[in-house]
Structure 1
């Protein structure tokens, strides 16, 4: 599997299993920065997620909703629309990663 792309315009971020493990460890102590409410995935939310990812590269997002399939679909939609990789999903919380265009903070392991 190819490593995470440095160019944001080259499509979605693709991570190796080692990189996913590394990012899950990095995300462990993070608090959720954003919460998806009853309105679902709006353009404004996608923009906020994009801004948060540019600033932090690795974020947690809380997804409201009781139906697991609906939450999973919302998480997949949010990751796809923001161009981020879904690192992990636990219950109502998703961890998203996208390298910053301006200032990279997180150095991913190779392979």
Structure 2
């Protein structure tokens, strides 16, 4: 899909007040976690995920796995938090600015 810089800034601004809704722990990015991310993205389009310190994967590895397994865009990584976006098929609530 590929987001432009303007769209990334817009999504970062929307994500600022959000709290992480999922945590990746010592099991890493499992299939169950990916399923939950997919469901959350379909319902909300934009989510935050926190990677715990005891996680088996680094934040960069988690971002790559989530991006490839969910076909989502990683908007930003801040510390141990990921901001993830994927356009919903049914609930399109976020209207992105033109590129």
Q: TM-score range by the shorter chain?
A: over 0.9
Tell me how far 1:79 sits from its aligned partner. 1.9
Q: Deviations along 1:11-40, whole A, 9 cap, x unmatched?
A: xx3100000000000000000010001000
Runs of 4+ in 1 over 2 A off after TM superposition: none
Following superposition of structure 1 onto structure 2, how do residues 51-70 of structure 1 map, counting pairs within 5 Å? 51-65=39-53, 70=58
TM-score scaled to structure 1, two decimals?
Answer: 0.83
Q: Could you list the runs of 5+ residues in structure 1 that have no partner in the other structure? A: 1-12
Give the number of aligned pairs.
98
Q: Could you list the runs of 5+ residues in structure 2 that have no partner in the other structure? A: none
Conserved? CA contact 2:77–2:83, under 8 Å: yes
Tell me how far 1:50 sits from its aligned partner. 0.2
TM-score scaled to structure 2, two decimals?
Answer: 0.93
CA RMSD of aligned residues (A): 1.5
Give the corresponding residue for 1:81.
Answer: 69
Deviates more, 1:15-24 or 1:57-66: 57-66
Give the corresponding residue for 2:81.
Answer: 93
Report the secondary structure of 1:89's partner residue: strand
- Cα distance in structure 1, aligned partners of 2:54 and 2:34: 21
Conserved? CA contact 1:65–1:71, under 8 Å: no
